[in-house]
Amino acid sequence: MRTPKTIIATTIIAALHLSTNVSAEQAYSLSCLGEGHSILVPQTTAKYLLIPIQETSNESRVVVFNNNEARQSLNLRLAKDKIDYYVPFAYKDGDKLYIHEPFNRDAAYLHTSDNDVAWKSAIKFSDTFNIDSNEKYRPRFHFAPLTGWMNDPNGMFYKDGVYHLYYQHNQYGAVWGNLSWGHATSTDLVHWQHQPEAIVPDMALGMIFSGSSVVDKDNVAGFGKDAIIAFYTAAAERQMQCMAYSTDGGMTFTKYEGNPIATSGKTDFRDPKVIWHEPTNKWIMILAGGQEMEFWSSSNLKEWKYESSFGEGQGCHGGVWECPDLMLMPVEGTTEAKWVLICNINPGGPAGGSATQYFVGDFDGKKFVNLAPEKTKWMDYGKDHYAAVTWNNAPEGRHIGIAWMSNWQYANITPTKMFRSSNSLPREWSLFEYDGDYYVKSAPVREFEQHLVKASSKSKISASKKPVSVNIPQSADGIYTIDCKLQKPDNGMITMSLVNAGGERVDMTYDGSSFSVDRSKSGLTDFSTDFPVKTTAPVYSKNNSVELRIVVDKASVEVFGDNGRFVLTNLVYPGKPYSKIEFATDGKKAKVTDLNIYKISL
Ligand code: FRU
């Protein structure tokens, strides 16, 4: 039995390297049918077909058929002239592959002889598949897929002490495509165990796009008490809402035979979020339809009625509205509660591209009314916080959210290889009042706290124009948390920077009313012109000081200001871990207090 090299915070249950290290026969036949069509017939009992991928190649359509029936279709970026990596395809006895390449007919390619195409001579069969879990930018305590591409978190629910997380997953390449719901579980929101794929595409309705799950405690849908009901968008040429149920606690799902359960003439119609609305005794489904959020209602989770739409003239409309959520939240320090409507939007975010906006208001089971229609509110002002949604059925009424830590502007080309993208830290969401308006606060879940081990501390540092620096212990190796309090000079600003031995740096500046994170010199930035930027958040306090918690995990810097009253989440790709902190002002004297650097114990 092969064990994975090291994934510190991630134990692998359903790994890909399952059996003994027997190398399989390489036998297969490949019949060329002319003009980019061929049929591959494996002649081995090996578990995996290892497929050579080239990310810049066009997608080829591969239909897997068995006994003359098509059972699966995949879009694969088969390697033309260079192999970036292999992806494993677990095939069944008797499977054959009909390969049609490429979709975008590329004349030069079509006329090359078969043997000139890299994948044809490089395809392999094996009982094992080796995952490089030590990739340089693989996070250690943020969730990332074992292999392949990930985008939005989906269908999260809590039950019997376990947090379930599903996610948009491409098992067959580290770029967007072939979307299914990957699955992972955790009992503490820090350590994640990979589980087998939960819901996979079907040839009838298409890929499995984003959605949500509920625990059906009263068996209203008739699949059994406590069945897990997942709602997702089936996406091929058109998008429609479907449901699937699980009677084994979310491990395996059966697609409901009455699918689809909600349809529309809109071409962007997706991402069902289902919640229980106590006051009207109804289930509510919130759907993203174009640049609006639609509210639908149901008593049995199967039949849905359209109620209303929200969006026209409200908030930001720089792009498509996606991935909604809706929840009633108490307002801190009061007896009031308000409804918060989450509306992820792409593009149109405050720093360009994808971001999470929200509206605070009232919801009566039919209609959402925004209390501050003239304002746009963002949950996170960094560039890499998208598709944020919460866990259903979380304990103690907690609102625990998680976001995909990337941005559609460059998500497909970030400098990783066998996997692409990770999630934000799970965060506790709450509501606070400031200057007569309501805002969402988002701070790391308290479970994270238990993993912080103090490595060094300084009670007071004086900062001035000449930078003063503090070392980050080398053993932290790019995974650590920094807490401190910045007191800015009167009529001035203070900058705190993370700097590495190669001079790469992340500059964070506080000027009293705003806080910015500049990653333009943070390391590798040239893979996209949208990457090297400065992101800026408003600061909701007037006392010239901010309390910071900065969480670093290899390739991400999450800044939580004033316990989550402002947040900036940004990816970074430094050549070496940032190894010191520098403080400097624009001339006047300033104070840094309660500086604590923590290593993360996992
Ligand atoms: C958001 C999104 C969703 C969609 C999914 C597809 O990032 O575009 O609207 O369901 O990704 O992967």
- Atom 9 of ligand 1, residue of closest alpha carbon: 322
Rounded CA gap, 249 and 227, in Å? 7
Q: Residue 103 falls within a domain, yes or no?
A: yes
Pocket test for ligand 1, best of 209, 292, 421 (most atoms within 8 A of CB): 209
Report the nearest-CA residue for atom 6 of ligand 1.
209
Instruction: Give the pLDDT band (50/70/90) at residue 32.
Output: confident
Q: What is the mean pLDDT of residues 19-39?
A: 71
Query: How far is the centre of ligand 1, averaged over its atoms, from the C-alpha of 322 (Å)?
Result: 7
Tell me whether residue 141 is in a domain. Answer: no
- Looking at 67, 101, 131, the residue that finishes a domain is 131
In a domain, 138, yes or no: no
Confidence (pLDDT) at 101: 86
What is the rounded CA–CA span in Å between residue 167 and residue 171?
Answer: 11
pLDDT, tens digit (0-9, with 9 covering 90-100), for 426-473? 999 999 999 999 999 999 999 999 999 999 999 999 999 999 999 999
Q: Which of 106, 131, 156 is the last residue of a domain?
A: 131
Question: Quick one: 122 and 159 in the same domain?
Answer: no
Query: Do residue 466 and residue 369 come from a single domain?
Result: no
Active site residue 325: no
Catalytic residue, from 152, 325, 507, 553: name it.
Answer: 152
Q: What whole-number percentage of the chain has pLDDT above 90?
A: 87
Look at residue 93 and tell me whether its pLDDT is greater than 70: yes
How does DSSP assign 130-162, residue by residue?
Answer: ---TT-TT--SSS---SSEEEEEEEEEEEETTE
Q: How many domains does the chain have?
A: 3
Statement: residue 102 has pLDDT above 80:
no
The sheet with strand 479-487 has its strands ordered as: 452-463, 590-600, 479-487, 545-553, 556-561, 566-571
Of ligand 1's listed atoms, the one at least distance from the Cα of 408 is 7
The reply to whether 440 and 458 lie within a common domain is no
Ligand 1 contacts CB of residue 210 (under 6 A): yes
Nearest CA to ligand 1 atom 12: 209
The stretch 67-83 carries a mean pLDDT of 95
Helices and strands counted in the chain (H then E)? 3, 43
Residues 436 and 568 in one domain: no
pLDDT band at residue 408, thresholds of 50, 70 and 90? very high
User: What atom in ligand 1 is closest to the CA of residue 322?
Assistant: 9
Residue 586 resides in a domain: yes
Q: Would the CB of 387 count as within 6 Å of ligand 1?
A: yes
422 lines ligand 1 (CB under 6 A): no
DSSP 470-500: EEPPGGGTTEEEEEEEEEPPTT--EEEEEE-
Question: Would you say the CB of residue 152 lies under 6 angstroms from ligand 1?
Answer: yes
Is the CB of 209 within 6 Å of ligand 1?
yes
Q: Are residue 478 and residue 395 in the same domain, yes or no? A: no
Judging by beta carbons within 10 Å of its beta carbon (0-12, 13-18, 19+), is residue 365 exposed, middle or buried? Answer: middle
Residue 271: both structure tokens together = 């991402």
Give the per-residue pLDDT at 117: 83
Ligand 1 within 6 A of CB of 407: no
Q: Assess whether 431 and 468 both reside in one domain.
A: no
Same domain, 284 and 243: yes
Euclidean distance between CA atoms 366 and 295, whole angstroms: 7
**Residue 153 Cα to ligand 1 middle (Å):** 10
Residue 172: give its domain's CATH number. Answer: 2.115.10.20
Question: Per-residue pLDDT averaged across 129-146, rounded?
Answer: 92
In a domain, 46, yes or no: yes
The CATH code of the domain that includes 465 is 2.60.120.560
Least confident span in 42-46, 495-499, 553-557: 42-46
If you measure from the C-alpha of residue 167 to the centroid of ligand 1, how many angstroms do you get, rounded to a whole number? 10
Pocket test for ligand 1, best of 270, 343, 408 (most atoms within 8 A of CB): 270
| Residue 258 confidence (pLDDT) | 98
Alpha carbon of 270 to ligand 1 centroid (Å) = 8
Model pLDDT, residue 10:
32
Cα-to-centroid distance, 446 and ligand 1 (Å): 29
CA angle 174, 599, 163 (to 5 degrees): 55
User: Is the CB of 442 within 6 Å of ligand 1?
Assistant: no
Tell me if 44 sits within 8 A of 24, measured CB to CB. Answer: yes
One domain, residues 80 and 171: no
Q: Which positions ≥6 away from 338 have C-beta within 8 Å?
A: 328, 329, 331, 360, 361, 362, 371, 431, 438
- On the question of pLDDT at 112 being above 50, the answer is yes
Ligand 1 neighbourhood includes 233 CB (under 6 angstroms):
yes
- In sequence order, the 6+-apart residues with CB closer than 8 A to the CB of 233 are 208, 209, 210, 211, 239, 240, 241, 242, 269, 270, 271, 272
Choosing from 151, 205, 421 the residue with most ligand 1 atoms within 8 A of its CB, the one to mutate for a pocket test is 151
The reply to whether 109 and 220 lie within a common domain is no
Q: What is the pTM of this model?
A: 0.94
Q: Find out whether the beta carbon of 271 lies less than 6 Å from any atom of ligand 1.
A: yes
pLDDT of residue 458: 97
pLDDT of residue 25: 54
Q: What pLDDT does 34 receive?
A: 81
User: Is 140 contained in some domain?
Assistant: no
Asked if pLDDT for residue 110 goes beyond 90, the answer is no
Distance CA 422, CA 9 (A): 13
Spatial separation of the C-alpha atoms in residues 508 and 231, rounded to whole Å: 40
Domain containing 16 equals 5-131
Average pLDDT, the chain: 93
CB 270 near ligand 1, within 6 Å: yes
Mean pLDDT for 110-137 is 80
> In this model, does residue 24 exceed pLDDT 70?
no
φ/ψ region of 501 (left if φ > 0, alpha if ψ in -120 to 50, else beta) reads alpha
Asked if residue 421 has its Cβ within 6 Å of ligand 1, the reply is no
Q: Which two tokens stand for residue 555?
A: 């390739």
Q: CB under 8 Å to 75, separation ≥6 — which residues?
A: 59, 60, 61, 62, 103, 172, 177, 178
Helix, strand, coil percentages, rounded to 5, for the chain: 5, 50, 45
The encoded tokens of residue 194 equal 């990979």
Q: Are residues 319 and 363 in the same domain?
A: yes
Distance 152 CA to ligand 1 centre (A): 7
- Is the CB of residue 77 less than 8 Å from the CB of residue 59? yes
User: For position 45, what pLDDT does the model report?
Assistant: 85
What does 319-378 look like in DSSP terms, one character per residue? SEEEEEEEEEEEBTTSS-EEEEEEEEEES--TTSS-EEEEEEEEE-SS-EEES-TT--EE
In whole angstroms, give the CA distance from residue 539 to residue 440.
Answer: 13
Of the candidates 53, 42, 252, 24, the residue with the CA atom closest to the CA atom of residue 171: 53
In a domain, 17, yes or no: yes
**Which atom from ligand 1 is nearest to the alpha carbon of 233?**
10
| Chain segment 166-197, per-residue pLDDT in tens | 999 999 999 999 999 999 999 999 999 999 99
* Sequence-ordered list of residues with C-beta below 8 angstroms from that of 8, at least 6 positions apart, any chain: 140, 141, 602
What pLDDT digit, counting tens, does each position of 381-398 carry?
999 999 999 999 999 999
Are 42 and 115 contained in the same domain?
Answer: yes
Answer whether residue 136 is part of any domain: no
Containing 461, the helix (H) or strand (E) segment is strand 452-463
Atom nearest to 288 CA in ligand 1 = 9
Residues 550 and 588 both lie in one domain: yes
